[in-house]
Amino acid sequence: MDQIADSFDLIIIGGGASGMMASIVAAERGKRVLILEKNKSLGEKLKITGGGRCNITNAEEDIHALLRNYGPAKDFLYSSFSQFSVKDTFAFFESRGLPLVVQARKRAFPASEKAVDVFQTLKRTLDKSGVICKTNCAVTKIRHSKGKIEGVMTNQGEFRADAYILATGGMSHPETGSTGDGFNWLADLGHTVKAATPTIVPLAVEDAWVKTLAGVSLSFMKITFYLDDKKQFSKTGKLLFTHFGLSGPLILNSASKVAELLEAGQVTARIDAYPDTDLGALEDRIIAVFDANKNKALKNVLKEIVPLGTSDAIRTLLPTLDFETKVHSVSKEERKQLVHLLKALPVKIIHLMGYDRAVVADGGVTLEEVDTRTMRSKVLENLYITGDLLHINRPSGGFSLQLCWTTGYVAGNAA
């Protein structure tokens, strides 16, 4: 085993998106590279990302505009993204036979909309470059001394190299192997590691009416969150009702702020089903529908007033209103009740869903302890850190995978 162990320039722990990118870059520069992966196959999380479609990047080519999506981390990441940008991601995959397409909100996908095609492109490139992969290889300990890693102990023996990249991913989707091992090793190695919270994740709610709409998706909704009945923030976008609560881009991109509010008190929300229409204009619209359907039962014209698929839920939210009554018998006060409800559907947030439903979890090494020009640790001179092991908050929309491609490239190049 020692003879094998001493033959590597670089060992990469973790064969996900950033680990595969790093291995390709290093191997194409002539380095002898070994990937240690505890799963039976590389890229397990990559194969399911984006609901199996793989939102491979965000096609925002202005680096300053792109980096604003990474919050306070933006000041650390300019050098990294200057070395491997969104344009470089497009060039990397398209030059290897994987065309990309850009959809709404600049989200880029493989043209096939199959995440497995992204994985196969990386795997083919990796195999051609001569990278050695050891799967079902679980790391048990990382040996270090005098500011350097000396070796990696695994269930298949010990392996050694001149440099090491830790690319094990964070805490989201533990069924793919992302169980936080890297956080524990980094803490043992002397790094400051922020505890993970699921930051792009659905919300569990108390309200039965929400759960009756499971599977209904509404494309243009506004949600406003309140802490102890005081307004905090609003977002507009696509909303998905589920059997446990709320999901969809609108919710996923609100979750990290909601997490902070939940620590401070009771969180409620109001969903505005017509964010581009004020109360007066919405009432005028409903009056027009009522005037055209005076002799019909209210229940039969409701679908012309409320968002598609929500009629039954609206009826449960207005128990004092008789939906069997004819439209001409609906009073002004009852009509106003309906108008106000559609502008402020009530929701009580219980908690964020867990890591099993998280798209991204934050947490990881603080960026002050990483030289982000090379992704090298400032604690151990031959260790490099990539992807979800870095404490960087970001929204959904391709920003997480771009972070993996960029940090993987930079680390592979530097190591």
Domain harbouring 14, CATH code: 3.50.50.60
Question: Both 10 and 69 in a single domain?
Answer: yes
Q: What's the pLDDT tens digit per position in 64-119?
A: 999 998 888 999 999 999 999 999 999 999 999 999 999 877 989 999 999 999 99
Would residue 409 count as lying in a domain?
yes
Rounded Cα distance, 99 and 346, in Å: 43
Number of domains in the chain: 3
Asked whether residue 191 falls in the same domain as residue 286, the answer is no
Residue 205 sits in the same domain as residue 194: no
Highest mean pLDDT pick, 36-50, 215-229, 292-306, 367-381: 367-381
Distance CA 354, CA 345 (A): 25
- pLDDT attached to residue 172: 47
Mean pLDDT (the chain) is 90
Domain-embedded: residue 274: no
- Report if residue 290 sits inside a domain: yes
Between these two residues, 7 and 313, which has the higher pLDDT value?
A: 313
Average pLDDT (293-306) is: 91
Q: What is the pLDDT of residues 250-267, one digit of tens each?
A: 898 888 888 878 877 789
| CATH number for position 221 | 2.40.30.10
> Does 120 map to a domain?
yes
Q: Tell me what the mean pLDDT of segment 137-143 comes to.
A: 95
CA gap 49, 33 in Å, rounded: 26
- Is the pLDDT at 2 greater than 80? The verdict is no
From 336, 355, 374, give the residue that closes a domain: 355
> Both 295 and 366 in a single domain?
no
Domain end: 307, 325, 355, which one? 355
The confidence band for 357, taking pLDDT boundaries of 50, 70 and 90, is low
Q: Is residue 402 over pLDDT 70?
A: yes
Q: 136 and 33: one domain?
A: yes
pLDDT tens-digit readout, 182-237: 889 999 999 999 876 666 788 999 999 999 999 999 988 999 999 989 999 999 99
Contact call for residues 183 and 363 (beta carbons, < 8 A): yes
Domain presence at residue 273:
no
359 has pLDDT over 80: no
Mean pLDDT value of segment 382-388: 96
β-sheet bridge partners, residue 205: 349
Based on the fold, state whether residues 218 and 203 are members of the same structural domain: yes
CA–chain centroid gap for 153, Å, is 32
Is the pLDDT score of 52 beyond 90? no
Residue 16 φ/ψ, nearest 5 degrees: -90, -155
pLDDT at site 6: 53
pLDDT surpassing 60 at residue 326: yes
Domain annotation covers residue 154:
yes
Residues 29, 134 share a domain: yes
Residue 311 lies in a domain: yes
Detail the DSSP E strand segments found in 146-190: 148-154, 157-159, 161-166
Query: Same domain for 241 and 129?
Result: no
Residue 3 has pLDDT above 50, yes or no: no
31 located within any domain: yes
**Alpha helices (runs of H) in 29-114, residue ranges in sequence order:** 63-67, 74-83, 86-94
> Does one domain contain both 165 and 70?
yes
User: Is the pLDDT score of 50 beyond 80?
Assistant: no
- What's the rounded mean pLDDT across residues 371-388? 97
Question: How far apart (Å, rounded) are the C-alpha atoms in residues 261 and 267?
Answer: 7
E strand or H helix that includes residue 346: strand 345-352
Structural domain for 206, as ranges: 199-268+347-355
Residue 177 structure tokens = 């192997």
Q: Is the pLDDT of residue 405 over 70?
A: yes
pLDDT digits (tens, 9 = 90+) for 153-193: 999 999 999 999 999 975 444 444 445 688 899 999 999 99
Measured distance CA(404)–CA(385) in Å, rounded: 11
Q: Where are the alpha helices (DSSP H) in 271-383?
A: 279-292, 298-301, 311-317, 332-343
pLDDT the model gives residue 361: 58
Same domain, 173 and 205: no
DSSP 206-253: --HHHHTTTT-EEEEEEEEEEETTEEEEEEEEEEEE-SSEEESHHHHT
Q: Is 210 exposed, middle or buried (0-12, 13-18, 19+ CB in 10 A)?
A: buried
Written as six digits, the tokens of 228 are: 């102890």
Are 43 and 176 found together in one domain?
yes
Tokens of 147: 């500011």
* Domain finish residue from 355, 387, 406: 355
User: Does residue 30 contact residue 9 with C-beta atoms inside 8 Å?
Assistant: no
CA-CA distance, 31 to 18, in Å (whole number)? 17
Kindly state whether residues 51 and 173 are assigned to the same domain: yes
**Among 3-7, 243-247, 372-376, which is the least confidently predicted range?**
3-7
Percent of the chain past pLDDT 70, that is, above it, reads 92
